[in-house]
Chain A
Amino acid sequence: MSNISAVPQPWAERLNSAADLEALRQRLEAGQDPNRPEIIVCHGTGCLANGSPQAAEALKKAIKDAGLDAKVVPGIKITGCHGFCSRGPLVVVRPQGLFYQRVQPEDAQEIVQTTLIEGKPVDRLLYVDPVSGEHIPHEKDIPFYKHQERIVLRNIGKVDPTDLGDTLVRGGYQALAKALFSMTPEEVVQQVEASGLRGRGGAGFPTGRKWRSALAAVAKKGGPVYVVVNGDEGDPGAFMDRTIMEGDPHAVLEGLILGAYALGAHQGYMYVRAEYPVAIKHLGIAMEQARALGLLGENILGSGFSFDVQVNRGAGAFVCGESTALFTSIEGRAGEPKPKYVRSVEEGLWGRPTVLNNVETWANVPQIVEKGGAWFAGIGVPHSTGTKVFSLVGKVNNVGLVEVPMGIPLQDIVEKLGGGVPGGQPFKAVQTGGPSGGCLPERLLDLPLDFDALTEAGSMMAAWASAACARCSTASARARAASRTSWTCAAWPRPSRTAPCAPWAAAPPTRCSPPCNTSRTSTWPTSRTTSARPGCARTSSPTA
């Protein structure tokens, strides 16, 4: 994986205008051959845990052994999470767009030989449709990806998050240049208001209104004002923010700079939980590269606007995702929430007006500024515009991360994207919104997923959707487990009488010793996924 020191030298000089940025983008684009074979290896946390670094190493070695280095120079690109975490490690071969799942180091030779040299797909590594049993070679045809609409996740899985050049080629920082040189701060706020964007953290407060109240507070109290990213994603089973920060840190950074420009802030903070070391690392690299190019720091792009940001790491307290606790934590005191009847846009960090938004909210901002609020408002449903990223976990065939337009029926998520309940079991319930949300039973399958409909049904937006099927676990058990620990969802103790219900039933054998019946799942990257899980302690199971 490249890092800051590997920034290609010719373009590492500071950019002083929008024209400089455009020229650099064109230069980088011209340097890329669209027909060049490229192997993309997912390095999302899920795939990392499943051994994608070993697979990438093996691929590199296989390419070298085959002597391809000199002829076609196939590149290996390391990207953030592709979303299809239950099938990891994922490998995509471009330009064909071939999608290989569960790639092990020993498959590398065959991929290089069959795909790169002979130009044919490796059948046994392709995705198999659970309904029709057909092999689906291309990423874009897989139902899990076909039904998604990717705005926030548009670059994730396509760019190397540690290489700013890659992001620039795909249109990164275009919105910033547009805002700085052709829009006033007021116009940026207007676009965000017009977009109807609502806070993605869960409460769904209109972002434009929040910014407007912050501006009113600044007019009353005077500066400074702060902008803060809430990356303290703590709900069990939720990994949307982590994926965004790991896979496309520049989107979050650009959104934050745009927000700062709109609000007149000169200092921002990213509060990221300590359990996300890769996200912290990638954000740090992104900031350093952006600073080197003059996209962050003093006099951004020569526009006269200065803004800097720092990453604050949490210390393992779930409560620090709450705004007052988050602020006290940034201020250097114990992260304890305090009761308040004054909103943080009036009195937040250090008692100053502060705009605190979720990672996903900030990541939406560049697209809104670039394409206009009206474009964004046209996606989704009135009152809940745009798309929403969901972590889809539990008893569904396709576990992973999806981005869908607001207002999509629950059924589509469970059946089209999730691929239905494993083993043809009847669907029982789905829980959305994490511990604060609720369980939606089968009769609510037609429910459109938007802020208001979910609140009305007694659940909540955000976080994750976790499905339960009738036989293997009751919804109440899932709810109980959800409130206990985060790993429960993945390492769900397999009920002895319902072997086919477990989504990981078809996964490759576990590394556990002695072999147990709960094979490894890909969603959870920590050591718990290997041997420390409670399920692994069982040496025998009625289904073994």
Chain B
Amino acid sequence: MVSFKINGETVQARQGWTVLETARQHGVHIPTLCHHEAVEPSGACRLCVVEVVQGKWSKIVISCMYPVAEGIEILTDSPRVKNVRRWILEMLLAECPGSKEIRALAAEYGVSASRFAAHHPDEQCILCGLCVRVCKEVVGVSAISTIGRGVHKKIGSPYQGPAEACVACGSCVTVCPTGAMRARLDAVRGEPKVKLAHGAK
């Protein structure tokens, strides 16, 4: 067992756990968007940042991937952490102004407007890739993926047509932190081949 401190309280963790897992185990709240217990962490949304203090120096790390170590001290709500989160939320607000969840989360941290230009007022997707990871790791079909890179990156199916591999399980919609996948599922699974409407002959 590894013992270290979260916000001044000593906690125990198994070797190989991440800081986020340990914090959740001990009831310490750390906000996350792209994290889900069912899949490997990817560190995409950066919202789970915490401050690691080791002796005289400290650094900001993402708790969903930072491995626990003996004797470190974690601060989940220090002024530095809050400042970084506010920045992240401001950028998320500009990236997907259409998301109710992001707006609510931003409001929690006192962020109501973004100083960055928002180009797509209805955008909801934060491109965290959680849907892609669920489709690959849990469902095992990889029907969707990220397409393009940089500002052109988006979530979609191969050749942006209906995906043959999609089993229409809806896992991507379930895990999506902002509900953006709801609007995309139809494009991914295409027209159902078997009509299940009542009364069909």
Contact = CB atoms under 8 A, between A and B. Distances in A.
Interface in B52-79: 61-62, 65-67
Interface in A323-339: 334, 336, 338-339
A479 interface: no
Interface of chain A, main secondary structure: loop
A338 B67 contact: no
A342 interface: yes
Contacts of B65: 339-341
A76 interface: no
A141 to B, nearest CB: 49
B53 to A, nearest CB: 16
B42 A342 contact: no
A289 B176 CA distance: 53
B146 A338 contact: no
B43 A334 contact: no
Nearest to B43: A339
Given A317-B149, A334-B146, A334-B149, A341 B67 contact: yes
- B61, B65, B66 — most chain A CB neighbours (10 Å): B65
B61 A341 contact: yes
Contacts of B43: 338-339
Contacts of A339: 43, 62, 65
Nearest to B65: A339
B67 A342 contact: yes
Interface residues of A, number: 8
Contacts of A334: 146, 149
Interface string B37-49: 0000011000000
A341 B146 CA distance: 24
Interface string A331-361: 0001010111110000000000000000000
B136 to A, nearest CB: 11
- A338, A340, A341 — most chain B CB neighbours (10 Å): A341
- A317, A338, A340, A342 — most chain B CB neighbours (10 Å): A338
A334 B61 CA distance: 24
A350 to B, nearest CB: 16
A334 B66 CA distance: 23
Interface of chain B, main secondary structure: loop
A341 B69 CA distance: 12
Contacts of A341: 61, 65-67
A358 B62 CA distance: 28
A338 B43 CA distance: 7
A338 B44 CA distance: 8
B97 to A, nearest CB: 25
Nearest to B64: A339
B88 to A, nearest CB: 14
A334 B149 CA distance: 9
Contacts of B61: 341
Nearest to B69: A341
Contacts of B146: 334
B58 to A, nearest CB: 15
A342 B18 CA distance: 12
Contacts of B66: 341
A317 B148 CA distance: 11
A339 B49 CA distance: 12
A338 B42 contact: yes
Contacts of B67: 341-342
Nearest to B62: A339
B73 to A, nearest CB: 16
A161 to B, nearest CB: 33
Nearest to A342: B67
Interface in A194-228: none
Nearest to B42: A338
Interface string A10-29: 00000000000000000000
Contacts of A342: 67
A338 B146 CA distance: 14
A164 B3 CA distance: 58
B137 to A, nearest CB: 14
Interface in B1-55: 42-43
A208 B65 CA distance: 28
A339 B46 CA distance: 10
A275 B28 CA distance: 49
Nearest to B52: A341
A342 B42 CA distance: 14
Interface in B106-151: 146, 149
Interface in A404-462: none
A412 B147 CA distance: 49
Nearest to B129: A336
Nearest to A319: B149
- A317, A338, A339, A342 — most chain B CB neighbours (10 Å): A339
Interface in A284-319: 317
A341 B52 CA distance: 13
Nearest to A340: B65
A360 B40 CA distance: 36
A102 B43 CA distance: 53
A298 B61 CA distance: 44
A338 B41 CA distance: 10
Nearest to B147: A334
A299 to B, nearest CB: 40
B66 to A, nearest CB: 5
A317 to B, nearest CB: 7
Interface in B149-179: 149
A509 to B, nearest CB: 39
Interface string A230-245: 0000000000000000
A470 B170 CA distance: 62
A353 B43 CA distance: 22
A340 B62 CA distance: 10
Nearest to A339: B43
A339 B64 CA distance: 10
B132 to A, nearest CB: 11
B39 to A, nearest CB: 14
A317 B149 CA distance: 9
15 contacts: A317-B149, A334-B146, A334-B149, A336-B149, A338-B42, A338-B43, A339-B43, A339-B62, A339-B65, A340-B65, A341-B61, A341-B65, A341-B66, A341-B67, A342-B67
Interface of A: 317, 334, 336, 338-342
Given A334-B149, A336-B149, A338-B42, 4 more contacts: A317-B149, A339-B43, A339-B62, A341-B65
- State the 4 A-B residue pairs at the shortest beta-carbon distance, nearest first: A339-B43, A341-B66, A339-B65, A339-B62
